[in-house]
Amino acid sequence: MSPGGRIGPEALAAYLEHLERADRAGAVALARGLLAEGRSVADVLVDLVAVAQREIGRRWLTGSWRVAQEHAATHVSELVVDALGAAVGAPHRGHVVVACVEGEWHALAARIVSEVVRAAGWRVTFLGASVPARHLVSYLHQTGPDAVLLSCVQPNRLVRAARMVEASRAAGVPVLAGGPGFGPQGRWATAIGAAAWGASARDAVRLLAVPLPAGSHTGPPPPPADDGYVAVLHRRRELVRLALAAVDPPEETAEDVASGIAHLVDALIAAARVDDDRLLLDFVEWQEEALTARGGRRLLDDVLATLERTLSEHPRAAARLRDAWAAYTAG
């Protein structure tokens, strides 16, 4: 590897080997070695740690890694983030708050953003995973930061993200959204009232460096185009229970299947919130890989059919499910 520049495939492969063995010492040494060769904190965290984490997620999704192995590898990467963050100098810019959407427990991406923004000179307060909106707004009123950086990894958390954006706008603090949960190119971020969206930690630094458009972060957020999602939201537990009973998975996969069904129902609610059927279809296509690995394609068919029947008195929600199912089976 030559000094400077982005991280090459050899370093990524070596890092993944350390993660597979849960070798924290080797992973930290590799990351520090890249810094010594001239890579920046952003290079190592964005082009090595974040890329490796996506591969870990893919291995878990396809069933090639169990939950315990994924957790061990993620913990190693968290230690790498800590080690690189310790090398960052004192802040000389304003104050930003970084938080994960309530219900989102995958906090490593937000941790990476925190340290890259900190390396750019900002004072950063990381609030952690799954931050309730009421706790966020209380903290904003107490501290008055310049911005909130809100991480959302999964689109099924979008309704909760909207609550957090609304709370931040009420406190007069702009929200810069980040993560794939806000859709391709962040197309759902502004629909729920975020001031802007960035695809990576480098984008967060760039967005913080320029003034936000006037009026982009205060007052009531844009209203939803379809308020029918409220009715489905109120029936969330019932929908999960009925769909799980319909497929009746074996005990060893029941917990994973129940979680997958809950995510699917949340994606339906989120699709109604931003009035975009593509959100649900994309999530169904993603969830297919997870659910079929745990029960075959018939399992997902039965879940979608049960949800559609149960929501027959909510025509728009049922139509979204029917259209997603048709597009999924046609593919």
Listed in sequence order, the DSSP H helices in 275-314 are 277-295, 297-310
Contact 193, 212 (CB under 8 A): no
Query: In angstroms, what CA-CA distances link 318 with 94, 232, 272, 279, 331?
Result: 47, 10, 11, 15, 20
Output the tens digit of pLDDT for each of the chain's 331 residues: 444 457 889 999 999 999 999 999 999 999 999 999 999 999 999 999 999 999 998 888 788 898 899 999 999 999 999 999 887 778 899 999 999 999 888 899 999 999 999 999 999 999 999 999 999 999 999 999 999 999 998 898 998 999 999 999 989 899 999 999 999 999 999 889 999 999 999 999 999 998 876 566 777 777 776 667 788 888 999 999 999 999 898 888 888 889 889 989 999 999 988 889 889 988 887 776 666 555 556 788 888 899 999 999 888 899 988 888 887 777 6
What confidence tens digit (pLDDT) does each residue in 16-42 have?
Answer: 999 999 999 999 999 999 999 999 999
What confidence tens digit (pLDDT) does each residue in 2-16 have?
Answer: 444 578 899 999 999
